[in-house]
Amino acid sequence: MTTISFDREVDMMPLLEVLAKFQLPWWCFARSDALLNLSEYSWDLLRKSRLRMAYIGAESPSDWLLHDIRKGTRPIRRLRRSRPAVATA
């Protein structure tokens, strides 16, 4: 089984174009900030590709937990990224 993970739009585009062409049902793991910042073109491809489910990761506000799982980020950085999404919701 292949796991599809979307982290950045630029990395997603080649695969999205193929999936949209064949229109087979599929699912993926995705970062919430990656989905939030997708262009309209990418959203159109997602709709055409028959994406059925995206497992969206949730971040921890705990410095020690992020360090222990080697996440490579800090809670304050995640908070700064998420505020624009909450403000527009």
Q: DSSP for 17-50?
A: HHHHHHT--EEEEE-HHHHHT--HHHHHHHHHTT
C-alpha 56, offset from chain centre: 7
Q: Is the pLDDT reported for residue 77 higher than 50? A: yes
> What pTM value is reported for the model?
0.60
Best CA proximity match to 78, nearest among 38, 43, 31, 39: 31
pLDDT tier at 86 (50, 70, 90 boundaries)? very low
Per residue in 15-50, pLDDT (tens digit) is 999 999 999 899 888 888 788 889 999 999 999 999
The whole-number pLDDT of residue 88 equals 46
Alpha carbons 50 and 60: distance in angstroms, whole number: 30
Domain ranges of the chain: 1-58, 60-89
Helices 40-48, 9-22: axis angle to 10 degrees equals 30
Segment 5-20 shows an average pLDDT of 88
Q: Is the pLDDT reported for residue 52 higher than 50? A: yes
